[in-house]
Amino acid sequence: MGELYQKMEQDLAIKNLARGTREKYLRCCCGFVRYYMRSPREMGLGEIKEYLGQVVREGASPEKLKMYVAGLKFLYGVTLDREVVAKKIPWPKVPKKKPDILSLSEVERLLNAAMSSSEIPAIVAVTAYSAGLRVSEACRLQPEDIDSERNLIHVRLGKGNKDRYVMLSERLLEILRAYYRRVRPGNRPGGWLFPGGKPGNPITPEGVRIALKAASKKAKLRKKALPHTLRHSFATHLLEGGADIRVIQALLGHSSIRTAAHYTQVSERFIGSVKSPLDKLRISARR
């Protein structure tokens, strides 16, 4: 895409979208350009629909297709200033699936299996679960973000570039102190709490995903155990423990309580604890 790539990259940065989202949008649009080997300026809705059809034929999931649509809408609506074309690109219907929720014992098995194999990715996963962090937020923590005096973790520039505070678990603090004494991450370039393979960079979310996948196999879990699974499980476990949904909303960093409700509505134990009005009626069963 050349010059157009740089312009779109700048537009994405100005919009202040998350780094991962910017990279995915650019990657999708580069695939569009490679498919036709022509500039997007020379193409329109017909070429876009044909390309998206090819993405579907190649087996893309509805979620992946939605990312392609979002990237192309941004390219045409913002970077190329062709809003008429962008508005006509149809959004795919994405099925709403209930996420897998790990029980407390399954989380314990998963994290113990991870800790026995790869220390830094495992402690990132433990940190993420302990406070419901996104894996990207946990990866980018720095030592000074751990406030042991107030029992808080300072999450800097989370989704939407918003700061927030979450609880600091006593057990997590013990684990982090032992880890810090062994690894001394503060002495490494970049000053990240969880340094990555490249000097000066933090561990990547992908590194944590790979470690959790291996740990899930080792723990013989039948459910998917992705970093976001831990976040869903954290919210559900809080709800089952009686936490107020507004507290869960603040911990997860959601601006809308509806988004927080999406995490908490999956608690089957919570649903099972609700009494049916039938229980108040005197109805005899036939014998």
Asked, for residue 189, whether it belongs to a domain, the answer is yes
The answer to whether residue 25 scores a pLDDT higher than 70 is yes
Q: Are residues 77 and 128 in the same domain?
A: no
Query: Is the pLDDT higher at 69 or at 19?
Result: 69
Quick one: 95 exposed, middle or buried, by C-beta within 10 A (0-12, 13-18, 19+)? exposed
Query: What integer is the mean pLDDT of 212-222?
Result: 93
pLDDT on residue 242: 78
CA distance between the termini of the chain: 76
**pLDDT band at residue 208 under the 50/70/90 scheme:** very high
The answer to whether residue 273 scores a pLDDT higher than 60 is no
The answer to whether residue 151 scores a pLDDT higher than 80 is yes
Query: What integer is the mean pLDDT of 100-128?
Result: 90
pLDDT on residue 77: 96
The answer to whether residue 84 scores a pLDDT higher than 90 is yes
The answer to whether residue 154 scores a pLDDT higher than 50 is yes
Query: What integer is the mean pLDDT of 125-142?
Result: 92
Query: What integer is the mean pLDDT of 32-58?
Result: 95
Q: What is the DSSP letter of 177?
A: H
| Last residue within a domain, chosen from 171, 196, 223 | 223
- CA 193 centroid distance within chain: 20
Q: Are residues 215 and 127 in the same domain?
A: yes
Segment among 16-20, 143-147, 185-189 with least mean pLDDT: 185-189
**pLDDT band at residue 202 under the 50/70/90 scheme:** very high
Which residues does the annotation mark as catalytic? 134, 159, 228, 231, 254, 263
Measured on CA atoms in the order 119, 122, 128, 129, is the torsion positive or negative? negative
The answer to whether residue 147 scores a pLDDT higher than 60 is yes
Q: Are residues 199 and 158 in the same domain?
A: yes
Segment among 122-126, 146-150, 156-160, 167-171 with least mean pLDDT: 156-160
Residue 142's domain is classified under what CATH number? 1.10.443.10
pLDDT on residue 110: 93
Strand, coil or helix: 147: strand
Q: Are residues 82 and 116 in the same domain?
A: no
Q: Which of 62, 53, 67 is nearest to 25 (CA)?
A: 67
| Last residue within a domain, chosen from 223, 247, 267 | 223
Asked, for residue 257, whether it belongs to a domain, the answer is no
| Last residue within a domain, chosen from 35, 64, 88 | 88
Tell me the average pLDDT of the chain.
85
pLDDT on residue 265: 52
Q: What is the DSSP letter of 195?
A: B
Q: Are residues 110 and 75 in the same domain?
A: no
Query: What integer is the mean pLDDT of 176-204?
Result: 86
Asked, for residue 25, whether it belongs to a domain, the answer is yes
Q: Are residues 216 and 109 in the same domain?
A: yes
pLDDT on residue 240: 80
Asked, for residue 188, whether it belongs to a domain, the answer is yes
Segment among 116-130, 156-170, 199-213 with least mean pLDDT: 156-170
Residue 55's domain is classified under what CATH number? 1.10.150.130
Asked, for residue 278, whether it belongs to a domain, the answer is no
Asked, for residue 229, whether it belongs to a domain, the answer is no
Q: Are residues 21 and 123 in the same domain?
A: no
Domain count, the chain: 2
Q: Are residues 19 and 110 in the same domain?
A: no
Residues in CB range of 91: below 8 A, 6 or more apart: 66, 69
Asked, for residue 28, whether it belongs to a domain, the answer is yes
Asked, for residue 248, whether it belongs to a domain, the answer is no
Query: What integer is the mean pLDDT of 2-24?
Result: 89
237-267 pLDDT, tens digit per residue, is 888 887 777 777 778 876 655 555 555 554 5
Q: Are residues 71 and 117 in the same domain?
A: no
pLDDT on residue 287: 47
Q: Are residues 77 and 177 in the same domain?
A: no
Query: What integer is the mean pLDDT of 78-89?
Result: 95
Query: What integer is the mean pLDDT of 53-76?
Result: 94
Range of the structural domain that residue 22 is part of: 3-88
pTM of the model: 0.69
Q: Are residues 40 and 74 in the same domain?
A: yes
Q: Are residues 108 and 195 in the same domain?
A: yes
Segment among 56-65, 86-95, 250-259 with least mean pLDDT: 250-259
